[in-house]
Structure 1
Amino acid sequence: MHLVSLTHRARRAAESEPEPAPPPPPPPSHHSSHNFLNMKNKFFNELGHLPNHKMSMPMWAIGAIVVVVLALVGCFAFCVYKKCLGGKKKAKKVRERKGGRLRRKKEGEGEQAEEEKKEGEGEEQEREYFGKLEYTLDYNFTENQLIVGILQAQDLPAMDIGGTSDPYVKVYMLPDKKKKFETKVQRKNLCPVFNETFTFKIPFNDLAGQTLVLQVFDFDRFGKHDVIGEIKIPMNSIDLGQPIHEYKDLVGGEKEEQEKLGDICISLRYVPTSGKLTVCIMEAKNLKKMDVGGLSDPFVKVVLQHNGKRLKKKKTTVKQNTLNPYFNESFSFEIPFAQIQKIQVLITVYDYDKLGSNDAIGKCWIGFGASGVGLRHWSDMLANPRRPVAQWHTLLPEEEVDAALKAPIR
């Protein structure tokens, strides 16, 4: 019985004994627990004092702060908008306004400058002096002739580097300019005396629509002749019932544009041993139209001069209705070698007219005293004896060549 009770007691103790639990964590130390409690107490104390501090600020101050903050935010947003979006429009308007002002200013300055320039040019033209020309006019009613006398010029401006001029006067009628006259060239003279007379055969009834032009030029052997001054006389503004003698001031003028008269091809050959000079008129091209139908009837006259005296002259045949005639005609002249250096060959192209006088289309000259192509062609011929040397020459007005021939050779 005692053994049974012991067994029963042991079984009951085993059943009543609980299952072993996991070991509990080590208890925190005394120092860590103390810090945690202090922080907790401080936090709740501050939390409890915070509402009391806010409530100490009045409500109107909080409202004012809110209003100010909103106003600042609104101003900032408005400035950003104007800066980014309105700046371009404003800049464009400003540029347009400035551009308009600048344009108006420039236009005003341009008009003012133009007016001042015109006034200055007018004053300069009034101050500029071109000299005077003395001339006479007389009309012969029985012969239907207008007689123009060129007497003298006074106080001409100096056109050359040396302070002088080489003046001559060109006389012609507008608008046809068919017949022109020129005085002799007066070398190095600002007060030249001409005393030359020229005659235009024009019916009196045809004079009313024409203008007499007196142009004073400065002769230049190696370049274009410069206009010194001119006088234009409308024939319907004067009374030709009695002779006219006037002394008028020259006015500034521009040289008339050189009219193209055409070109001519000439071949020269000289044999020193026999003294034979051969001039071959080969062809011409682009001649001036002289007839009503727009063509011409050209022929060529060749004149040989020595020291200003005519020795011989020859003519080609007439080529009908053409501006580009082909001649291929040769003429021979006996010229001793001792005289060849002083020989001048004058070539004149004429338009043949059955009913009236033949009109000169253009002229050129080769040999002693010539310049440019005329001098070079002559020199090439002398440098190549017995060989023909061909060269194209540009035709010039007959009056211009005649004036150059009259001028003293330097």
Structure 2
Amino acid sequence: MSLGLSSLQIFLPISDTLKYCLLAFAIALFLAAMIILACKMHQYYQYRSSAIVKDKKTTGTSVEKKTEGNILVKSLNPDFLETARKEQDSRIQHMQKEMEKLEVHLTPSPPSTESLDDMGSDSDRPHGSRGKLKFSVNFNKKTMTLLLSVIEATDLPEYSRDSFVRIRVFSKVDEPQSEVQSVIHECETKVVKNSRDPIFDEDFSLSLKDYQSSNISLKLEVKDFDKYSRHTLIGETRVALKDLKTSETLEFCEELQEKTKDIIGEVLISLKCLPTAQKIEVGILKFKSSSPKIIKERDVYARIDVFSNQQKQKHQKSSLRAKSKVTVFNETFLFSLPDPKKTHCLVLISLYETIGNGRKLIGQTSLGNQNTKSDGSHWDLMMQTLRQPVADWHPLYI
């Protein structure tokens, strides 16, 4: 027995005082936990009772408002209520008309052969005076040099803020019954900001050697500059050198006219309709340039935009090709066409050439079953020979 007690004293060498202290500390912790629990429970019941009181108050006020509203409606004159209802109906009808107008403006209009850079610029502007352009021309027949001075523009439309003049010199291809032209020179004036009567006062010296003066024409386009979007065409004017009978400087002040198109080349396009797959295959085969000078460092590519039922599909691009007199692509692209006989479809093909980090539009053509400037015989022939490619040449406009 003494041996067992001695062993317990070895393994539990804790005094009674320490045991009681630990027990008191544990009881104190338990009491503190209970106090905290009681406080939390008290807070919870207070929050719940206040929420119930608020709900009763809100329901009471809503009921009071409803009753007050009913009493007010009952106390009003029936004639006054009828007048208020008529005014409300007229406002609703006015809002419906405004929504219809907005829907008409937001609905995309049928695209045309207009350039993607200028699309919608003319149709969105009010008709009327486009302003005037003042310039002078001096053609020296001995040196075959054209001296052009762009002086000023006057009375431009109200929407015109920052304007400039784009100059193109065309030479008609010396072929009988041909309307194809080549662009000899292209340049621009500086941009004049915040003026409806901009003064440009710029001179250009353009060499016309190796060209016949009777085939040369001058085209000046006044455009509204936009830094973040497409430039808007205001109007244009033209001068043919064959009409200049003297070598003296002639000054012109011409009314700006609507935009007109010039044919500057041809593109060979193939079409194939796949009715089972509900697709159309557009092929870009060749591009024939009318430009007498070909810059070898520049590449060209084609962009195809398809509009079906006035909805634009995602455009596709061809690979880059070295520009030459006849550039060969031989590439095909597939676009969806749900119902070839009923779906209104327009295919817009644009040819671009690369310039440094940017691009320059060479020309565009369009075809389809909509009322466009292009001939619809190619589209009709495709519909007559389903699942078979049909190729035809189309003029490129600029």
Please state which band the TM-score falls in when normalised by the shorter chain: 0.3 to 0.5
Between Structure 1 and Structure 2, which shows a larger proportion of helix residues?
A: 1
Structure with the larger RCO, 1 or 2 (CA within 8 Å, 6+ apart): 2
Q: Which is greater in Rg?
A: 1
> Larger strand proportion, structure 1 or 2?
2
In the superposition, the TM-score normalised over structure 2's length comes to 0.39
